[in-house]
A and B are shown apart, each in its own frame.
Chain A
Amino acid sequence: MAQKTVEFTLGRNPEMGMDGRPVMGPLAPIDLPEPDIESDNMLLNIGPQHPATHGVLRLICELDGETIVRCIPHIGYLHSSFEKLGEYRTWNQVVTLTDRMDYLAPLIYNCAYVMSVEAMMGIEVTERCKLTRVIMMEMDRIFGHLLWLGTFAMDVGAFTPFLYTFEEREKIYTLHESYTGARITTSATRVGGMMSEMPEGWDQGVRDFCNGLPRTLDECDTLLNENGLLLGRTQGIGVISGEDALNYGLTGPNLRGSGVPYDVRKDQPYYDYESYDFEIPVGEYGDCHDRYLVRTEEMRQSLRILHQALDRLPKAEGPMDVPDPRISLPAKTDAMNDMESMIHHFKLVTDGIHAPAGESYFPVEASKGELGMYVVSDGGTKPVRWRVRPPSFVNLAALPKLLEGHLLADLITINASIDIVLGEIDR
């Protein structure tokens, strides 16, 4: 992705070079001798309750003047041991725990979990279900990125994009609500299908949203792309090379911002992603600005996928759930009128689904990076182990590396640019 060059009127932004990057060196000549003050490094505590840490993240910084010498992130304030709780719940009940992790893109987590269970059980879901899940996952990728865009802009000092993006997010909230009845804790998926058939006109609602979003994205671009303050605060800040990023296990836009074109949708495709026409944006310098460009472009690519999936939807007639009485609940009228259906209904509700012994690790591309759901079964109705490979957790682990030698003010930008959600880090 090419670096944008911006021209400034001379004198308006004297600290900014012609290429948009800040001019290195002192702004005014300083002849003062270096003060010979013997001083210790200072310990600064940021968080856990701080608006710019995006949740209950606590950072202990050792400062030499304004430069960060060392940073120790502390997590775990939101720890609810979802993985332990999952071992006490049936396969379908775990779904409700998944959307509490990344509450900024809950449907991706719902889908990823059941996809892993289905891979373990060898269930092939229907074409209609696949398309619905693709639509939901791409919609929530935009959902997550929009929040990131708003808060990132706010962290570097621009307030307006926050209002624009939240207006668009409100439309997705409404779509969530009309499908699942909940705005955040959606719990929309079941093993072998979805919670229900799409409500009437829901796909048209998604289509309307897709048609309206580019305008808002363009408006945000106008506000941000040539904004000297944003360029100055993001370019050359928090640089990580592609090799380092890979070694630190970064995934998603953070890795792609460093120039490594790794995307699970392309490299280990699921749900026919190989048949969709979309591209993977890749950055060049690996700084905060490239991560910003990658994410904004990803939203446009998600829109392309959404349009294609919505076009395929009318052709995919048929049931949403797998027509197997051991996995999917029978229709309510059947359960009331037909003896066998009632027994199936009773067994599924009281006992739950029996999964054969086995295990599965299923990676999907979430909005934050690679989300892997690892489920282990010993043949019972509950998981022996349910493990989430949390993208934000691994991304946050690289924060001390990204902060090396930066100023305290850059900490806020860098922390905003790696896009974390603490619900999923602490689980």
Chain B
Amino acid sequence: MADDKSSFDSVAEGPRPSSEVTVSPVKVDSPARAHPSVTALTDQFGEAILRHEVVATDQHIVFIPPDRNLEILSWLRDDLDQQYDLLRDVTAVDYGGGRPLQVVYQLFSLFHKQALRVKCELPLDALEIESVCGLWMAANWLEREVYDLFGITFKNHPDLRRILMPPDYAEGHPLRKDFPLRGRFSRAEQTRRALSQDLKHYYFDDEIELGGESQALPPMDGPQALPSGENEAEAEVETGVEASE
């Protein structure tokens, strides 16, 4: 009776895949399942390839040290046996709990029809990595988005500023796990900021310079007079965040 499992047991045990395929991340030792680029990377860079994982049956992830990302990625783009000429995506993952943030590069080679995922782990106290804009222009906005939503600084990025959130957004970086779903400020403070007529809410600095003083909006009275933070504690939080920005 012990191994005669009913479907009720499976509910108690939690999910298992319906098919025979293993789905949990597995360390790959057998060369049969290895990715040709991963083998080549290990031959070329040796110790710099920190880890190799296979997820979802056939998706390969390579972990590299963040200070060598430019070197390894440009090799992946230019080497004739790799030719990862399409940068599909740059994003980041925050697992929360003080674990390091992961910067994820999704690469694809049109010639070899191969996909590879490269990850760099950044400790929370050093959120800096070299920009790959020089290799793929596609990284321009994607890195800006990661900077905006995760607060990771991309060194030598041509135009690193917020993209989805307003330029003067002072509540932090929304996709981090320590960011509350409704934001850090009170509703009243958020409304006050949204209705404020400060020119800097609407234009970036270089645009204000380009437009000249004559384009400044006239001051508006009325909605702007909404109360700021609801209590003193919130006001403290606000100033604290602004200082850290």
Contact = CB atoms under 8 A, between A and B. Distances in A.
Given A84-B179, A324-B18, A394-B138, 16 more contacts: A43-B215, A84-B175, A122-B21, A122-B56, A247-B85, A248-B138, A249-B136, A344-B11, A356-B16, A357-B25, A361-B115, A376-B93, A385-B94, A387-B91, A389-B91, A397-B141
A124 B22 CA distance: 12
A79 B165 contact: yes
Given A356-B24, A358-B56, A378-B95, A124 B207 contact: no
A426 B137 CA distance: 20
23 contacts: A75-B163, A76-B164, A81-B175, A84-B174, A122-B18, A122-B57, A124-B18, A124-B21, A247-B85, A249-B86, A268-B108, A326-B15, A356-B15, A356-B16, A356-B24, A360-B55, A360-B56, A361-B59, A374-B104, A389-B88, A389-B106, A394-B141, A427-B164
A144 interface: no
Contacts of A358: 23-25, 55-56
B17 A384 contact: no
A354 B15 contact: yes
A50 B75 CA distance: 44
The 7 closest A-B pairs by CB, nearest first: A249-B138, A122-B17, A122-B23, A360-B56, A354-B15, A397-B141, A76-B164
A343 to B, nearest CB: 6
A310 interface: no
B110 A361 contact: no
Given A43-B211, A120-B55, A397-B138, A325 B104 contact: no
Interface string B91-114: 101111000000010101010010
B164 to A, nearest CB: 4
Contacts of A394: 138, 141-142
Query: Max chain A CB contacts within 10 Å: which of B55, B166, B204, B215?
Result: B55
A219 B10 CA distance: 57
Interface string B195-212: 000000001100100110
Interface residues of A, number: 68
B135 to A, nearest CB: 9
Would you call the interface of chain A mostly helix, strand, loop, or mixed?
mixed
A123 interface: yes
Interface in A243-260: 244, 246-249, 251, 260
Given A340-B6, A370-B88, A76 B215 contact: no
B35 to A, nearest CB: 14
A359 B164 contact: no
Contacts of A248: 137-138
Interface in B133-149: 136-142, 145, 149
A124 B164 CA distance: 36
B117 interface: yes
B218 interface: no
Contacts of B243: none
Would you call the interface of chain B mostly helix, strand, loop, or mixed?
loop
Given A268-B113, A354-B15, A389-B89, A122 B163 contact: no
A258 to B, nearest CB: 13
Contacts of A85: 181
A374 B136 CA distance: 20
Nearest to A244: B137
Contacts of B72: none
A243 to B, nearest CB: 9
A372 interface: yes
A83 interface: yes
B218 to A, nearest CB: 17
A72 B25 contact: no
Given A76-B163, A249-B137, A387-B89, A123 B210 contact: no
Contacts of A246: 85-86, 110
B19 A361 contact: no
Given A246-B86, A361-B106, A397-B138, A426 B164 contact: yes
A88 interface: yes
A292 interface: no
B7 interface: yes
A76 to B, nearest CB: 4
B10 A355 contact: no
B219 interface: no
Interface string B32-76: 000000000000000000000001110100000000000000000
A327 to B, nearest CB: 7
A119 interface: yes
